[in-house]
Amino acid sequence: MSTGKYIGRVLVVDDDQAICEILRAQLSNEGFDCEVALSAEEGLSMLRRDAFDAVLSDLHMPGLSGLDFLAAARRERPHVAFLLVTGEQDVRTAIQAMKSGVSDYVVKPFKGETVLRSVGQAIEKKRLEAELQGYRQKLEHMVEERTRQLFSALQEIEITYDSTLEALGGALDLRDSATAGHSIRVTLYALTIAEAMNCGEKQLRELARAASLHDIGKIGIPDAVLLKAGCLTAEEQAIMRSHVLVGYELVSRIAFLAQAAAIVRAHHERYDGAGYPAGVSGDRIPLGARIFAVADTLDAMTSDRPYRKALSFEEAMAEIVAQSGRQFDPVVVKAFLSVPRHVWSSIQTGSLSVGRPRPRAEAVAMPEQRARPD
């Protein structure tokens, strides 16, 4: 009776040739492609040479025992179904063997149908396991691929965000013609100092975003105040100073700019507490804002203004050093001084953008508490 259901390649291993032949006849009759081996050693060499779906092995053989043979065979071909042929007295051993990966056992004297059913089921089980394993691997591959695509899409979104912020910073500069290019330069100055302080990628990103947007609150300042050439009255100065809180209000509503918003709010604070809007001092000012303050002043002093010519870099540097511990955090000033002169020059002379590689400053050893994120 051939059902055509249990088709596969089977290796029968038994030192009793009569049993081998009976099994071969029964299995072949049922549509299996059957080979026999009269010893464990021969079985192993056939397994190494050919592919089988199932191995049916006697438990007791001269030389390598059935259990040792199965252990060795499973190491060779872990995806093959292994079955034991055993006597009544060894059923317990066979059950134990199933715990270590043997698919099934057949007790002698066996009926042909029993053997066929066991072999067929064992092969089918292995086939399903292999299918499941393949499906699992496919799923894992799909998850990896989707994760990679998602990560890449997120990176693109981040780049788009940052380009938008950079463009917005440039647009803000245009409103006040005296500060053309200020936003991009000050961003690069700030990043250069932050790198010299060993700030991490996340801090650098937040700092770049804050630097692009630091004066966004000036959108709310009337031209009569923003562009006034002479000294500001006390009232006008108060209006001008409101740009930090207006900027904070605008930026803090955007979730991914929350950290940058804190820097926008604090970018006119002073290390000695004499700044605005909160008058906080020292480490209570976010590290990004302390870094930004040096960068902003450096650019302001080294840029032409309608009412004065730009200072030389050396003059600006001397002023920053003079303000260390007063306007500026001494640790930030130390980092600023550690950056080689040519790095500042290449930023100052343009042709750089936040997204492009730029000359890197060597990091200086900073006290640990200062290098931590704010």
What does the binding site for Fe ion look like in residue numbers (CB under 5 A)?
215
- Shortest distance, CB of residue 153 to Fe ion, whole angstroms? 34
Shortest distance, position 243 Cβ to Fe ion, whole Å: 6
Bridge partner residues of 86 (DSSP): 107
Nearest approach, Cβ of residue 346 and Fe ion (Å): 25
- Provide the minimum distance between the beta carbon of 217 and Fe ion in the complex, in angstroms, as a whole number: 8
Tokens of 288: 């990004």
How many whole angstroms separate alpha carbon 42 and alpha carbon 255? 70
| Nearest approach, Cβ of residue 183 and Fe ion (Å) | 11
Do residues 39 and 63 touch, judged by C-beta distance below 8 A?
Answer: yes
Nearer to Fe ion, 173 or 215 (CB): 215
Closer residue to Fe ion in complex, CB, 19/165? 165
Q: Which lies closer to Fe ion via its Cβ, residue 40 or residue 216?
A: 216
Question: Which residue lies nearer to Fe ion by CB, 215 or 269?
Answer: 215
Q: Which is nearer to Fe ion, 35 or 215 (CB)?
A: 215
Q: How far apart, in Å, are the Cα atoms of 132 and each of 23, 98, 125, 139, 320?
A: 30, 21, 10, 10, 67
Helices assigned H by DSSP within the chain = 17-29, 40-49, 66-76, 91-99, 112-175, 182-196, 201-213, 223-226, 234-241, 243-252, 258-266, 287-301, 313-322, 330-338, 341-348, 368-371
Residue number of the CB atom closest to Fe ion: 215
* CA–CA distance, 368 with 294 (Å, rounded to integer): 20
**Surface-to-core class of residue 55, CB atoms within 10 Å of its CB (0-12 exposed, 13-18 middle, 19+ buried):** buried
The answer to whether the beta carbons of residues 22 and 114 sit under 8 Å apart is no
To the nearest whole angstrom, how small is the minimum distance from the Cβ of residue 296 to Fe ion? Answer: 7
- Residue whose CB is less far from Fe ion, 85 or 226: 226
